[in-house]
Structure 1
Amino acid sequence: MPVFGQKKYYGLTGLKLNIAIAVVAGTDFALFGYDQGVMGGLLTLPSFLHYFPQIDTANPPLGSNPSHASNIQGITVGGYTLGCFFGAVATIWLGNILGRKRTIFIGSTIMIIGAILQASSFKLGQLIPARLITGFGNGMNTSTVPTWQAETSKSHRRGQMVMIEGSLIVFGVMLSYWIDLGFSFLEPSTISWRFPIAFQIVLALFILITIPGLPESPRWLVLKGRDEEALDVLCALSNLPPEDKKIQSEFQAVKDTVFEMSKGGFKDCFTMGPNRNFHRTCLAYVNQMFQQISGINIITYYAATIFEQNIGLSGFLSRLLAACNGTEYWMASWIAIFTIEKFGRRSLMIFGAVGMSASMCVLAGTTSKVSTGLGITAAVFLFVFNSFFAVGWLGMTWLYPAEITPLSIRAPANAIATTANWIFNFMVVMVTPVAFANIGYKTYIIFAVINAFMVPCVYFFFPETAYRSLEEMDEIFHKTTNAFNVVKIANEMPHRFDKKGNIVIAYEETEEARMFQERRRSSIAREDASKAVQEHKE
């Protein structure tokens, strides 16, 4: 085992190493946000529509109609999210085989290939498959990065670290909007849209270069029997020697959990037993689904189109407002970074859903009629909706599923949950142009009702995970008997760590530790008995 203090992980330890992991993970999410937002600002660009006239909903090509063009536009934009879905599905099987770092490396490589194909497109037949390829790589990454982040973070900093990732998703969206706006001045040159699409390669290359030198998840290493490497990572992450009581307690907690759950796999996501795997997989899946059916991607993908075609602003002003919208969205996301640990996951999710529902109601009312005053109000509430989403749901679905699922199924369960993100993302992106073309302002009413429904669901079914170690969440679910009492149990069970990460209750003193030790002794006794019988037969 490498000697404690030996220079590795770029010479970083403790908080600096945690920040380095957050930077690389955050860059991946900035890449994700950038790729989500970049296409929205190009959909009304003349030079872009010259090569892809089939997606022009304002002036559809001869022999077509707005409804058909809206379908093609939905397929083109949504092809990326469909690719993400298949990438997430692939990670269900590949995640635990490859490990967290290798999966992210491969995913980023695939994204670079897809971005090159997108930026060099001349026909729709090349652009759509290229977006599928890019999405496939991103689906692998977004299924893995939150797990890697959660498994290398301390319980008192985990929420903040992942919320920074959420903020960086929006930073990527914002960056794409401003680059779209800036390069639109190069019209009619195709650089006006080829460069914005190609720029994502820069972010992907940064990930490829930096991730090999960072630590693998200690929990995955234990799962694979690489205990010495796992202990070394834990020491580096805490900047403490191996014999430190805190390190030994954390290492033993991880080992006991792995010992108990090492036989888990994809099929175990759909079983109950004492770990309540299916219950926890469902919570992760629904959490991701709620984020997407809130309606956020109406704005993320189609902000410039909404400003131009639904509110009636000019092309330049629409792209400018979309960029400003993305900037305000990013600024609002920082609120969650400083409140996620103070108020907890549940409070922010409920707060966000209430605000989003109210915003959608206002948008429905203000877009039901055409007037300058109502148009301005509608534009303002596109900003307001984004703010509530940024605080309550933006980073939450990359944090909560990784916290709620047990180690043995964490990779496949998070991949399953991420498929919900992408398949419902695809549904919303596909339906939005068609819905606006057919039912107009009533589209917002549908999303207002959905967001209102999310409030009681979170209150009654989603347990709090703030200041809980990943092993503590296992203990909470071991005590759970049905979907209705898990919130109560989580609220009543004492915390092992305080709000600064200090040990309050040593792992060895917990009922969970005693249970694991008893099961381990029983398992060893059974193995010894089995060996004795075998030796007697021989």
Structure 2
Amino acid sequence: MSIKMRPTLVLWGVRMGFMSYGWDAGVLGGVLQTKAFQSAMKAPGTTTTAMIVASFLLASWLGCCIAASPWSDRIGRRVWVMLGALIQVFGTIIATASYSTGQLIAGRVLIGVGNGLVVATGPVYVAETTGAVMQRGPLVGILMGFACVGTACAYWIDFGFTYATGQVVWRLPVAIQIVWSMLTIALCYPNADSPRWYFLQGRPDEGRLVLQQIYADPTLAEKVASEIETELRQEVGETLRFSDFFIDRSETKAASRIRDGVILVGIAYLMGINMIFYYMTTIFQVYIKLPAVTASVCSGAATTLLAIGAFVGSIYCERGGRRKWLLWGSALQSVFIIAFVALLAVGTKPASSAAAAMLFGWILVFSPTWAPQPYIYISETMPLRHRHTGVGLSMSAQWLMAFLTVYAGPIGFESVGWKIWIWFAVFNVIGFPYVYFFLHESRGRSLEHMNELYNEKLAVDSGSFSPSVEGSVKGGDVIEQKV
């Protein structure tokens, strides 16, 4: 393949991959209670339904683990994204044609594995092909905005099909996912891989050629190439040891950075978003006791609000920095989720209506904060030699925690009722001290200067920074800012 890089196509290709992720996250939530689905799946019980929904999440965890494996970095960001999308196509065909729960679960497992590959590699591909530092955060964060758009579209399509009859009510919405996967492949195929990947694989000439296509100024392209080579020299000989995940004595703190990312994403997905995502209509209809049509409308409105908020948080993420968005998000979400739990405990009709309002408030806060910001943080703070491992393991934490909540959540609700939501409230509260005490602020730094954020000695040795200044690279130029 000739070395051609069109960053705009890369962006839209990965965005379509995240649309597919969001579509699958929402599409079943709106059809689980339909007569057509219940008839085709022979009225599955709560545990079986939970497994149908959650099998996608566990398989996505497996896909992320594959992307995080040591040998996976030899393949490249671009190929993993396209391969994941292709696997999703086959899984969607099987799921759409299902007439048993076993067949449907098998299809969703394939969809999940493909999805894990896309979401673990896509943010890295985007981050490593973005030229200006101040655009990197918004462009990566917007990926979650597209995932939320996919979920919102799926819920509105589900709502529209509630007025149809027959198996098309649920089969066509499930089948539409193929569109997003095919667009992902078509948009990513004409492009080269990321320049950082070429340097990592010992192919600097190809990496420089890609950088020259990303940066209009050849001088800036060469400067970035030099910084990438410097970063790789800093990371030579640094291997991941299990003990480093507890006490990291390495210069670049690679293991502790991966650990911080895994915990950050794990907390985000123990806050309840997947329980809400996947069972939105069921929550409004069964738990809050709204009429079926009202529940569908509320589901569509809530997921639309989630999408809008994710875009807002991504676009303005450079204002205030990653930590402030996460801290404010955790604080305000805690207020809304605690009020939601208290109102569910009351159990009256007025209290249930107020609980629905609290849920909307929670979504309003979560969508611009804990929805996109963890993606931004993990995609930019991982060291180059271990970036695929760090992002892959972080995303695997997302899917493992999501599986836990989606599978155990409805079962727990049957057992202990509204008290299951206390679990999610606890993690909304935990998010604040974790971010405050453990996370560094990564805003305004190029990928090649993240090592210096964790070790000031590297900054002094490189001559680019001093302990009292924070560097920001925009278009390859170092801009010094007082901390």
- By how many angstroms is 1:194 displaced? 0.4
**What stretches of structure 1 of length at least 5 have no aligned partner?**
56-68, 482-489, 507-538
The match for 1:86 is: 62
- By how many angstroms is 1:8 displaced? 4.2
How big is each residue's C-alpha offset from its partner over 1:307-327, in whole Å with a ceiling of 9 and x where there is no partner?
111111222221121111111
One-letter code of the match for 1:77?
Answer: V
One-letter code of the match for 1:39?
Answer: L
The whole-number CA distance in structure 2 between the counterparts of 1:36 and 1:264 is 38
One-letter code of the match for 2:344?
Answer: T
The whole-number CA distance in structure 1 between the counterparts of 2:376 and 2:285 is 35
The match for 2:49 is: 73
Correspondence 1:252 to 2:233: no
Correspondence 1:282 to 2:256: no
Alignment check: 8 A CA contact 1:82 1:422 kept: yes
| Amino-acid identity (%) | 26
The match for 1:36 is: 25
Alignment check: 8 A CA contact 1:266 1:413 kept: no
Alignment map for 1:208-219 (pairs within 5 Å): 208-219=185-196
One-letter code of the match for 1:259?
Answer: R
Alignment map for 1:380-391 (pairs within 5 Å): 380-391=357-368
Alignment check: 8 A CA contact 1:272 1:278 kept: no
Choose 115-124 or 469-478, whichever is displaced more: 469-478
How big is each residue's C-alpha offset from its partner over 1:438-483, in whole Å with a ceiling of 9 and x where there is no partner?
22222222222221111011011100000111122111223389xx
What secondary structure sits across from 1:441 in the alignment?
helix
Choose 21-30 or 278-287, whichever is displaced more: 21-30
The whole-number CA distance in structure 2 between the counterparts of 1:480 and 1:272 is 13
One-letter code of the match for 2:182?
Answer: L
Choose 438-447 or 220-229, whichever is displaced more: 438-447
Correspondence 1:467 to 2:456: no
The match for 2:159 is: 181
The whole-number CA distance in structure 2 between the counterparts of 1:389 and 1:414 is 21
Alignment check: 8 A CA contact 2:87 2:110 kept: yes
Alignment check: 8 A CA contact 1:95 1:144 kept: no
Correspondence 1:504 to 2:482: no
Alignment map for 1:92-491 (pairs within 5 Å): 92-93=68-69, 94-153=71-130, 154-187=132-165, 189-241=166-218, 244=219, 246-261=220-235, 272-479=249-456
One-letter code of the match for 1:497?
Answer: S
One-letter code of the match for 1:172?
Answer: G
Alignment check: 8 A CA contact 2:238 2:250 kept: no
- By how many angstroms is 1:499 displaced? 6.9
The whole-number CA distance in structure 2 between the counterparts of 1:105 and 1:262 is 30
The match for 2:461 is: none
Alignment check: 8 A CA contact 2:321 2:441 kept: yes
The whole-number CA distance in structure 2 between the counterparts of 1:240 and 1:432 is 53
The whole-number CA distance in structure 2 between the counterparts of 1:380 and 1:38 is 23
The match for 1:47 is: 36
- By how many angstroms is 1:283 displaced? 0.6
One-letter code of the match for 1:23?
Answer: W
The whole-number CA distance in structure 2 between the counterparts of 1:195 and 1:272 is 54
- By how many angstroms is 1:47 displaced? 0.5
The whole-number CA distance in structure 2 between the counterparts of 1:107 and 1:263 is 31
The whole-number CA distance in structure 2 between the counterparts of 1:267 and 1:101 is 28
Please give the TM-score of this superposition, normalised by the length of structure 2: 0.92
The whole-number CA distance in structure 2 between the counterparts of 1:144 and 1:312 is 40
The match for 1:21 is: 10
The whole-number CA distance in structure 1 between the counterparts of 2:239 and 2:59 is 24
Alignment check: 8 A CA contact 1:223 1:262 kept: no
How big is each residue's C-alpha offset from its partner over 1:251-310, in whole Å with a ceiling of 9 and x where there is no partner?
101012123435566668857421212111101101110111011112100110011111
What secondary structure sits across from 2:250 in the alignment?
coil
Distance 1:108 1:263, change over 3 A: farther
One-letter code of the match for 1:204?
Answer: S
The whole-number CA distance in structure 2 between the counterparts of 1:321 and 1:180 is 13
One-letter code of the match for 2:133?
Answer: S
The whole-number CA distance in structure 2 between the counterparts of 1:373 and 1:175 is 30
Distance 1:319 1:223, change over 3 A: same
The match for 2:462 is: none
Report the count of equivalent residues: 470
CA RMSD, aligned part only? Answer: 2.3
What secondary structure sits across from 1:391 in the alignment?
coil
The whole-number CA distance in structure 1 between the counterparts of 2:358 and 2:475 is 38
What secondary structure sits across from 2:417 in the alignment?
coil
Please give the TM-score of this superposition, normalised by the length of structure 1: 0.83
**What stretches of structure 2 of length at least 5 have no aligned partner?**
459-464
How big is each residue's C-alpha offset from its partner over 1:131-161, in whole Å with a ceiling of 9 and x where there is no partner?
1111001011111011111111232111110
One-letter code of the match for 2:66?
Answer: A
